Amino acid sequence: MKRKLVLIGNGMAGVRCIEEILKLDREAFEITIFGSEPHPNYNRILLSKVLQGDTRLDDITLNSWEWYERNGIRLFAGETVTEVDIKRRLVRTDRGRVVEYDELIFATGSNPFILPVPGADLPGVTAFRDIQDCERMIEYAKTYKKAAVIGGGLLGLEAARGLLHLGMDVDVIHIFDYLMERQLDPTASKLLQRELEKQGMNVLLRKETAELFGNGRVEGVRFKDGTSIAADLVVMAVGIRPNVDLARRSGIEVNRGIVVNDYLETSVPHIYAVGECAEHRGVVYGLVAPLYEQGKVLAEAICGRKGKPYEGSVVATQLKVSGVDVFSAGEFMDGEGTESIKLYDEARSVYKKVVVRQGKIVGAVLFGDTSEGRKLFDMIQRGDSVEALSLSLFAPAALGGKGSLAAAMADTDVVCGCNGVTKGAICQAIAEHGLKTVAEVRDYTNASRSCGGCKGLVAELLEHMLGEEANRYTVKETICGCTDLSREEVLEAIEQRRLMTVKEVMSVLGWKNEEGCSKCRPALNYYLGMLYPGEYDEEAESLFVNERLHANIQADGTYSVVPRIYGGVTTAEQLRNIADVAEKYNVPMIKITGGQRIDLLGVKKEDLPRIWADLGMPSGYAYAKALRTVKTCVGKQFCRFGTQDSTGLGIRMEQTFERLKTPHKVKMAVSACPRNCAESGIKDVGIVGVEGGWEIYVGGNGGTHLRAADLLCTVKTEDEVIEMTGAFLQYYRESAHYLERTSKWVERVGLEHIREVLFDVETRRALLERLHKALSATTDPWRDIVENERLQQLLFRDIGDKEPVSVE
């Protein structure tokens, strides 16, 4: 027998919770939903777009009638629950319907707050809360000219913007000294006001409404200071209050909202509350992201899989108010004990402020250019130190560079060059499938699936389309779609429960796909290898073909072979040997690689082990997520500018760190002078010889995200270079996400933080110890295979040719 689940309220929070329940267990409940509004579930956040006239209700519908039907949900729209009998566990509606429940969820949302002033009930006075309000305002704009919006917060300004669009004259009335005081500081607010006034809004500050007057319908607003204005339409947008009447009448504990614990349980067993009607730890949330978080926790609890409790949300606002980009998060006001970093570009109307408390980023306000909002939000949530701030945040906005690149692009512009995905295709997929994360966009459209170079742009597009909603969904990066766990959570579990195989990790941590996918399997394989050096045996079947076969697969299915040539220095004998092998196996192409090595291209898979045996050289790891090459210049031995022996150090580095597996490929270089012939400035680790010492650069990249390396430190001796490089590599190995290049990693964790770790003598010693343990467990993979007939059979030999002879 299915349990009976009743949801009161057909809004965003409640229905999202139902979606989560369906995901966990489709069969557990017989679901009934009551909604007072006669529509299916729609996205209230986008109401202002409906008001502006460029969007219809259909466009903002989240779940269609068909969705309810398909999921076997009984929906009673336009029907209001009037009574909950908690003893007999049933609800009654205004249509006399009686429905029993085993579990009951309140998601009754909130009601607009209507000022208790005389005249508030006059025709022509409306709130801005639901689709009916919208329709009423659109209707009014057809006949009348003058509108007044009471409330200069987010909602009020959105309403005002919509009315302006509809051709009305708009006064915005605000009781405080400046607009949007809950999201902005005075400076940002003044800029916003200036923009709005430019667009035609008339802003009245410090005005407290005394009464609305009119004969038969509203004709104006009178203020406490005795002044008044004329208005044919008055929109109240002064706040919302949780809709708790029904809960209170039913005997459920209510404060400002319906009081719930960390599992969204009310004071009455089997009754829960989510969304704007709920009060958790004294807070009632009005933004979407927290409501969705609550829905998820409740879904798990109600399905009997109590997981993590809900512990409250950090909220950020990133939105477009009347076409102006505004972002704020955390503690954004200057106050006692805080310092702030500001950029104020009055000419371009750009304002950026980051608030710092005891060296940590605690809040931010951005106006005019909010492109870094999400990054800042992450930093605030993590409590990053101020050193992690990138200077680019405060670089003057490019000429005309207001607004995001994503917004400025045309629909036909290509976002993802690798897969030829246009902005239009991405936006359509986001809208049609309700995509919320970059990963989802990738899965639906292919954008960012290959090199990942367009990830940032895709994220911007998401933000552009979803506003604040996009925020929260990009905060947590799970390993892949097979799990909801992040890298950190998985690593912690592996260590705590001593999970030793990929399979174990997946089954203990409840992977959604029993055998994972092509993303998580290689990642887990790496993490296990990193955590248990010498103990963990790589799983061939969890490796990408390049690493499984220790050669690069080419477009035509052949492979390429790159033997190691330390520091790029070779001998006549080696060259002769390579040439002989190339001839013997009919290698169609011999090429010098970008990393100063020799590549034999077009080799058949079955020939690989024999070629390696004939070469008698170690693997150059040209295929691996490991140390690749150390590029060098000729150095002081030959070059007239060279200050140091760069080839010598390069060879030493390559021999020291050879075979070290890393989250992504690692390239190094050593130059003997600042002319940088070995291109040390765009390598994961780049060494530049100067008179009397070496500069160590890290986090450079010449790939899809071209990035100049940062100077980590300057040292005197080669030994110190080896030591610092080793510690850096080990710390990268331990703390980067699988497939995260050092360039991204350095930006994510911050150079200062890396310095703090590496410059601490004790920590560095411990890192080097772990590094040497990892290094000492490695062997040359080519030789291992050459000497192992079983591996050759398993991995390199096909079954071969079979006669097409029928056996029956």
Partner 1 sequence: MKVEVGTLEQLPKRLGKCVRVGNRELALFRTGDDQVFAVENRCPHRGGDLSQGIVSGEFVFCPLHDWKICLKDGRVQAPDEGCVKTYRAAVKDGLVYVEL
- The least distance separating partner 1 from the CB of residue 664, rounded to whole angstroms, comes to 16
Specify the residue, 546 or 570, whose C-beta has the smaller distance to partner 1.
546
Distance CA 440, CA 470 (A): 12
First to last CA, the chain: 51
Report the alpha-carbon distance of residue 463 to residue 440 in Å, rounded.
14
Which is nearer to partner 1, 391 or 799 (by Cβ)?
799
- Spatial neighbors of 716 by CB under 8 A, at least 6 apart, are 692, 693, 694
CB of 122 to partner 1, least distance (A): 54
Pick between residue 54 and residue 808 the one whose CB is nearest to partner 1.
808
- Within 8 A by CB and 6+ apart from 714, the residues are 690, 693, 694, 695, 696
Name which position in 446, 478, 501, 763 contacts partner 1 (CB under 8 A). Answer: 446
**Of residues 154-213, those binding partner 1 (CB under 8 A):** none
718-742 CB burial, b ≥16 within 10 A, e <16: beebbbbbbbbbbbbbbbbbbebbb
Measure the CA–CA gap between 720 and 713, rounded to whole angstroms. 11
Q: Judged by CB, which is closer to partner 1: 322, or 552?
A: 552
Q: What does the DSSP 8-state code read for residue 747?
A: H
d(CA 429, CA 435): 7
**131 scored as a contact of partner 1 (CB under 8 A):** no
Which amino acid does the sequence have at 237?
A
Beta carbon of residue 749, minimum distance to partner 1 (angstroms, whole number): 28
| Residues in contact with 355: Cβ distance below 8 Å, sequence separation at least 6, in sequence order | 330, 331, 332, 333, 334, 338, 339, 340, 361, 362, 363, 364
Q: Which stretch binds partner 1 (CB under 8 A): 232-240, 534-542, 625-633, 716-724?
A: 534-542
Among 96, 226, 557, 692, binds partner 1 (CB under 8 A): 557
Tell me how far, at minimum, the Cβ of 419 lies from partner 1, in Å. Answer: 9
Q: Which is nearer to partner 1, 101 or 559 (CB)?
A: 559
- The nearest distance, CB 374 to partner 1, in angstroms, is 24
Structure tokens at 380: 């605030």
Instruction: Provide, rounded to whole angstroms, the least separation between the CB of residue 446 and partner 1.
Output: 5
Give the footprint of partner 1 on residues 535-554 (CB under 8 A). Answer: 540-545, 548-549, 553
Shortest distance in whole angstroms from residue 481 CB to partner 1: 11
Ranges within 492-531 binding partner 1 (CB under 8 A): 513-518, 521-522
Closest listed residue to residue 655, CA positions, set 533, 778, 764, 763: 778
Instruction: Please report how close the Cβ of residue 607 comes to partner 1 at its closest, in angstroms.
Output: 15
Cβ-based nearer residue to partner 1, 123 or 434? 434
- Site membership for partner 1, residue 431 (CB under 8 A): no
Select the span of 43-51, 244-252, 647-655, 798-806 touching partner 1 (CB under 8 A). 798-806
**Which residue from 687, 689, 684 is spatially nearest to 700, judged by alpha carbons?**
684
Rule CB under 8 A: say whether 135 interacts with partner 1.
no
Nearer to partner 1 (CB atom), residue 99 or residue 739: 739
Restricting to residues 205-264, name those near partner 1 by CB under 8 A.
none
SS3 683: coil
Q: Tell me which amino acid residue 691 is.
A: E
Residue with Cβ nearer partner 1 (215 or 793):
793
CB-based contacts of 490, cutoff 8 Å, min separation 6: 479, 483, 505, 509, 524, 527
Residues paired with 592 in a beta bridge: 598
- Asked if 76 interacts with partner 1 (CB under 8 A), we say no
Q: Is 432 in the site for partner 1 (CB under 8 A)?
A: no
Q: Which of 449, 753, 755, 770 binds partner 1 (CB under 8 A)?
A: 449
Query: Please, which residue, 374 or 661, has the CB nearer to partner 1?
Result: 661
CB-based contacts of 518, cutoff 8 Å, min separation 6? 544
Q: How many CB atoms lie within 10 A of CB 88?
A: 9
804 binds partner 1 per the rule CB under 8 A: yes
Instruction: Single out the residue of 437, 445, 560, 629 in contact with partner 1 (rule: CB under 8 A).
Output: 445
Binding mask 658-677 for partner 1 (x = CB under 8 A): --------------------
What distance in Å separates the CA atoms of residue 194 and residue 175, rounded to the nearest whole number? 18
Partners of 5 in the β-ladder:
31, 103
Q: Please name the residues in contact with 215: beta carbons below 8 A apart, sequence gap of 6 or more.
A: none
Do residues 60 and 42 lie in contact, with contact meaning Cβ atoms separated by under 8 Å? yes
Q: Which residues pair with 553 in a beta bridge?
A: 559
Which of residues 445 and 644 has its CB atom nearest to partner 1 in the complex?
A: 445
CB of 538 to partner 1, least distance (A): 13
x/- letters, 568..607, toward partner 1 (CB under 8 A): -------------------------------------x--
Q: Is 661 helix (H, G, I), strand (E, B) or coil?
A: strand
Which residue lies nearer to partner 1 by CB, 342 or 519? 519
DSSP states of 428-477 as a string?
HHHHHHT--SHHHHHHHH-TTSSS-TTHHHHHHHHHHHHTHHHHHHHHS-
Least distance from partner 1 to the Cβ atom of residue 424, Å: 15
Tell the smallest beta-carbon distance from residue 450 to partner 1 (Å): 7
Q: Which residues pair with 353 in a beta bridge?
A: 342, 365
Q: How many residues bind partner 1 (CB under 8 A)?
A: 40
Answer for the pair 511, 480: CB distance below 8 angstroms, yes or no.
no
Taking the least distance from each CB to partner 1, the nearer of 345 and 539 is: 539
Window contacting partner 1 (CB under 8 A); options: 103-111, 300-308, 484-492, 793-801:
793-801
Looking at the Cβ atoms of 399 and 799, the one nearer to partner 1 is 799
Task: Give the binding range for partner 1 (CB under 8 A) out of 103-111, 408-416, 446-454, 460-468.
Answer: 446-454
795 binding partner 1? (CB under 8 A): yes
Asked whether the beta carbons of 414 and 447 are under 8 A apart, the reply is no
Name which of 570, 574, 664 is nearest 623 in CA terms.
664
Among 93, 228, 428, 450, binds partner 1 (CB under 8 A): 450
- Which of 699, 663, 336 is CA-nearest to residue 525? 663
Closer to partner 1 by Cβ: residue 527 or 728:
527
Among 262, 334, 443, 747, binds partner 1 (CB under 8 A): 443
What residues make contact with partner 1 under the rule CB under 8 A? 443-446, 449-450, 513-518, 521-522, 540-545, 548-549, 553, 555-557, 605, 794-795, 798-808
